Amino acid sequence: MELKGKKITVVGLARSGVGAANLLSEMGAAVTVTDIKSKDKLAGSIKKLAPSVRLALGGHPDDLFMSADMIIVSPGVPLEIKPIASAKANGIKVIGELELAYQILQKSEVEKQIPFLAVTGSNGKSTTTTLIDHMLRKGGFKTLLGGNIGNALTEEIYKIVTSNKLRVTSKNSKMAEDSSLVTRHSSLDFIVVEVSSFQLEAIEKFRPHIASILNITPDHLDRYHAMSEYSNAKAQIFLNQQGTDFLVLNADDPETIKVESEKLKVKSNKPKILYFSRKMEVEGVYFKDGIIYSNFPFSVPETRNSELITADRVKIKGVHNLENAMAASAMALLANCPQEAVIDSLREFEGLEHRLELVREVNGVKYINDSKGTNVGAVVKSIESFNEPLILIAGGRDKAGDFSMLRNPAAEKVKAVVLIGEAAGKIQDALRDVTETVIARDLKEAVTLSSNLAKKGDVVLLSPACASFDMFQDFEDRGRQFKKIVAELRTNE
Ranges of each domain in the chain:
7-91, 102-348, 357-487
CA distance 436 to 429: 11
CATH for 7-91, options being 3.30.110.30, 3.40.50.720, 3.90.10.10, 3.50.30.30: 3.40.50.720
Long-range CB contact pairs, 262-270, < 8 A, 24+: 263/232, 263/235, 263/238, 264/235, 264/238, 267/238, 269/241, 269/242, 269/243, 270/241, 270/243
Q: What pLDDT does residue 381 have?
A: 86
Closest to 76 in 3D by CA, of 30, 10, 29, 122? 10
Closest to 366 in 3D by CA, of 395, 390, 393, 394? 390
Cis peptide upstream of residue 301 (ω within 30 degrees of 0): yes
What pLDDT tens digit does each residue of the chain (493 aa) get? 689 999 999 999 988 999 999 999 999 999 999 999 999 999 999 999 999 999 999 999 999 999 999 999 998 898 989 999 999 999 999 999 999 999 988 764 444 678 999 999 988 899 999 999 999 999 999 999 999 888 899 998 888 877 654 444 333 333 344 444 344 445 789 999 999 999 999 999 999 999 999 999 877 777 777 888 989 999 999 999 999 999 999 999 999 999 998 888 778 889 999 999 999 999 999 999 999 999 998 765 556 678 999 999 999 888 889 999 999 999 999 999 999 999 999 999 988 888 888 999 999 999 999 998 998 988 998 998 898 999 999 999 998 889 999 999 999 999 999 999 999 999 999 999 999 999 999 999 999 999 999 999 999 999 999 999 899 989 999 999 999 999 999 887 6
Closest to 118 in 3D by CA, of 203, 23, 4, 217? 203
Q: Collapse the DSSP code of 370 into the 3-class scheme (helix H, G, I; strand E, B; otherwise coil) and give the result.
A: coil
Give residue 419's identity as a one-letter amino acid code. L
CA distance 390 to 407: 14
Q: What is the DSSP letter of 218?
A: S
Q: Which residues pair with 461 in a beta bridge?
A: 368, 392
CA distance 31 to 70: 10
Q: Collapse the DSSP code of 243 into the 3-class scheme (helix H, G, I; strand E, B; otherwise coil) and give the result.
A: coil
Could you tell me the end-to-end alpha-carbon distance of the chain, in angstroms, rounded to an integer?
Answer: 65
Q: What pLDDT does residue 173 have?
A: 36
CA 61 to chain centre: 31
Residue 276, CA distances (Å) to 128, 256, 314, 428 in order: 13, 12, 16, 35
CA distance 230 to 343: 34
Query: What's the fold here for domain 102-348?
Result: UDP-N-acetylmuramoyl-L-alanine:D-glutamate ligase (3.40.1190)
Q: What pLDDT does residue 162 have?
A: 77
Q: Name the CATH superfamily, with its identifier, for domain 357-487.
A: Mur ligase, C-terminal domain (3.90.190.20)
Q: What pLDDT does residue 180 have?
A: 40
Radius of gyration of the chain (CA): 23
